[in-house]
Amino acid sequence: MKAAVYYENGEPSVLKYEDVADPKCHPRGVIIKVEAVSIEGGDTLNRWRGALATRPHIVGYQAAGEIIEVGAEVTTLKVGQRVATTGADGSHAELRAVAARAAWPIPDGFDSKLASVIPVAFGTADDCLFEFGRLKAGETVLVQAGASGVGLAAIQLAKRAGATVLATASSDERLERLKPYGMDHGINYKTSDVVQSVMRLTNNKGVNLVVDSVGGSTLQGSILSLAYRGRVSMVGAAGREPMQVDVSSLMGGNRSLSGVFLGAEIATDRAHDNIQRLIDEAARGEFQVVIDRTFPLSQAAEAHAYIKSRQAVGRVLLIP
């Protein structure tokens, strides 16, 4: 099969388009013919500094496609079914082997491209808001990096739950594009101080919950943006900087900081069923899956470079 591979970590240009051996089907797994690869924030981080499981290495958490082979012990899935899948790596390829447990059936009529985006971004945003963030209707949420994959999911799910939604982004143009998805107030962090803006927009109360997928440059500000008993769901390191915070800034306001890692629970019934629910809701049009742009798989390097340029709002896909 063809795949986008790399032999060493680095900039997007390390990605090459090459012939590699087809993956083998595990007895408790399936092989899919990939129809769409959703390039996750974690994929760009892994390309830059993640471990190479094989050399060359095929990066990528998430892809959707049609099952072409089913492992001997799998009873829940069948050849010909379309599924959205996750895994530690291997999405940037024509064929992908995944655990049956990490494949979610795509409802008839729902585009595989849209389904490919949902498990990690929406599953993570949902956990940040509800499982760990305990969001309630009427509360106010700040979504750091609102134009990211996780951010756009969080904006929509928070709005649907009855929250007021603030979001940050690196330009006014990016913020403008978030308004149709439920953002009430945008904060351009290049031109405004985020904490001051949050306080101005909330009558000095602060927000009840922050979803922070950026980390180093934002996390202290996320804590300082909290209202009394506010919560931060810390979920990522898109900023690629060390995360240092003054934890004493939590105590006075009975504030809390939770780490959120979907991967630690994705195999549980709770997270698995939650992701299927989100796929089914998206298929019914209950929220939007935002695809910024698609590239052929052969242009994976260009697609990663485009993401690095910070122009994308929502997901960039690769099509084999």
Closest CA to 122 of 239, 40, 35: 40
Instruction: Tell whether residue 304 is a contact of ligand NAP (CB under 6 A).
Output: no
| Cα–Cα distance for residue pair 268/119, rounded to 1 Å | 14
Binding part of the chain for ligand NAP, among 7-15, 104-112, 167-175, 282-290 by CB under 6 A, reads 167-175
Closest distance to ligand NAP from the beta carbon of 154 (Å): 9
What is the total count of residues that contact ligand NAP (CB under 6 A)?
31
Instruction: Tell whether residue 274 is a contact of ligand NAP (CB under 6 A).
Output: no
Instruction: Tell whether residue 260 is a contact of ligand NAP (CB under 6 A).
Output: yes
| Cα–Cα distance for residue pair 319/63, rounded to 1 Å | 10
Residues 209, 237, 282, 300: which binds ligand NAP (CB under 6 A)? 237
Residues 50, 56, 71, 239: which binds ligand NAP (CB under 6 A)? 239
Binding part of the chain for ligand NAP, among 75-83, 93-101, 107-115, 259-267 by CB under 6 A, reads 259-267
Residues 56, 71, 253, 263: which binds ligand NAP (CB under 6 A)? 263
| Cα–Cα distance for residue pair 69/117, rounded to 1 Å | 23
Residues 262, 275, 282, 291: which binds ligand NAP (CB under 6 A)? 262
Residues 32, 103, 114, 145: which binds ligand NAP (CB under 6 A)? 145
195 and 221 in contact (C-beta within 8 Å)? yes
Instruction: Tell whether residue 129 is a contact of ligand NAP (CB under 6 A).
Output: no
Closest distance to ligand NAP from the beta carbon of 164 (Å): 20
Residues that bind ligand NAP (CB under 6 A): 40-42, 44-45, 120-121, 124, 145, 147-151, 169-170, 174, 213-214, 235-240, 260-263, 307, 310
